[in-house]
Chains A and B, each alone.
Chain A
Amino acid sequence: MSEVSDFLKAVKEKGEEGRLLYVGESLSRVDGLEKVLGKPVYTGDMLVQGMLHAKLFHSSVPHATIREIDDSIAKGMPRVAGVLTWRDIPGINESAAVLPDRPLFSKGVVRSTGDIIGAAVAETEVIAREAAEAVKVTYDPLPTVYDPVEAMRPGSVKVHEGGNVAKQMKIRKGDVLKGFAGSP
């Protein structure tokens, strides 16, 4: 670090010609002023004429196959545009970042309480929420596992078809015992 500060010192001593604009200066955030004025528009602040609102409905059980999704009441409510589930996804039903193990909307099976099964869409947020709450899902429960160590054991309940272990990495470096033995 002293190399850098020596360098900066030298640059400053050179005068105008050698002056750096940003390195070594204290800068305000580009959007700092807006933020302290309360001006930025976040997603929840946006309102577009004629927009629809969606509210998600979630699994209430930890592990089960979905027997039935009954959205008849929700769909029948006034000003409800529809109820979306995995069948309505035109593209790939996947929302995970690393492995393809998290569908956007559950297809046939739920793997944790809170898994997103679908969305109710309506003209206002309040109606969308009421419609989401009116969707009735019935489940056939499956056995559960809640402990990660337990879940890694060979005979464990399988949460995912390919098993519960996402990835295994072996890292071998040096010889710990030798190192400890040789330390003061």
Chain B
Amino acid sequence: MDLNPLLLPERLPRQIIYAGDRYCEVFILAQKRIVQRTRLDGVTLAETDGDRWPEIASRLQPQDTGVVLNSEPFIFNFFEFDRLPWSRKLLRELVEWKLQKIFPENIAAYDHQFFRLNRKRVFSILAKRSFLEHLETLFRESRIPLIFIGSSTLEIMNRMSRLKTVPDFFMEIDEASCSLVFQHQGRPVYIRKFKIASRLETAAEISRTVQFVKSSYGCQARSYFIIDHRQQDAADSLAAELAAENLTRLSAAAAGKTPFIPGSQ
């Protein structure tokens, strides 16, 4: 267990940029409530979209800021070992060795963090260093303190860990991508990201993934949450398609309206 977050709790940002697919949303928080929410369509934080940054920066106050990225810039992996060593250094070497076997690119170009899920499993997350440095540079040049860069998927997972009723999986749907996070006994077992096309194709992809998780991990998924960054109607129609596959949608209201924004209710 890391002592740092326990003994040195980090300050939550007062304004957060959610970086979605082909848009950004600026959230201003006060007293754990979102007091202002501004959607900027066609604006991204991508390295190739640097000239649109002033548009976002103009909406920000010079105060502690956070960036929550959707699943697109992250690479999630789960590794299973016979037994995990106690030493953090040894564990890192072991995980990186396994990662090198499946990951074709240079790992040094990525920020690699991993989390012990139980005695055998490790959850690994890769994020491109150049993108993180690009973000830091943008904020530094605008003299806005950037104190948080997180993942919306992980924020939702953390938020769900506090709930009494937890679904078998949740899907986070954005404009162009969908992430499926399967959980067993409160721990993530499988994450799948894919580009969404039509409603029917998305439902078919989800159904195939549910079957894959059942056959590979022995977890029969029956219930789910939808965290949709789009319009409400789109999620409802998808839920209707999935109902035919015996998948029950549970209300995600307990997780809050914006579970991907840290510090919001």
A binds B: no
Task: Name A residues whose Cβ lies closer than 8 Å to a Cβ of B.
Answer: none
